[in-house]
Amino acid sequence: MAEVYYGSMTTAAAELETEVRRLRIRIISLTTAQLDEAAPPAHSRRAAIREALTEFSQIGSDSRPVPALGDQNLADQVVVLLEHGQRSAQTLPEPDRENRIDTLTEAAVRLRRTLA
């Protein structure tokens, strides 16, 4: 994927930031009952979010453990882990940087679609 620069941000980075905003809004809008509803392959939307948090940590945070905080913190945890992964990608050589950002974006899109 060819990178296009807008100031200091690539299109891949801009796409990730867009997904971060979409996920934040989507997760914040979920009620407790909606979080309890099934979201295959997870048992619930809440479980899908927690599984995604683990995946985001594996991709961009050296698989650090993700604390199980309350529902009110799920959106913040998603944002923090995705933004951290994006920042950590900036320290990598170009091909690895692009791969990490693309992988994070794909994982974010998967989660958003699971929560739909």
Residues 25-79 have pLDDT tens digits of 999 999 999 999 998 877 899 999 999 999 999 999 999 999 999 999 999 999 9
Of the candidates 12, 10, 100, 5, which has an alpha carbon nearest to the alpha carbon of residue 56?
100
pLDDT, residue 9, reads: 60
pLDDT, residue 27, reads: 96
pLDDT, residue 13, reads: 87
Q: What are the tokens at 38?
A: 């099934």
pTM for this predicted structure: 0.87
Residue 7 has pLDDT above 80, yes or no: no
Q: Residue 12's pLDDT band (boundaries 50, 70, 90)?
A: confident
- From residue 96, give the alpha-carbon distance in Å to each of 2, 23, 38, 49, 103: 14, 24, 35, 26, 10
Residue with tokens 């923090």: 80
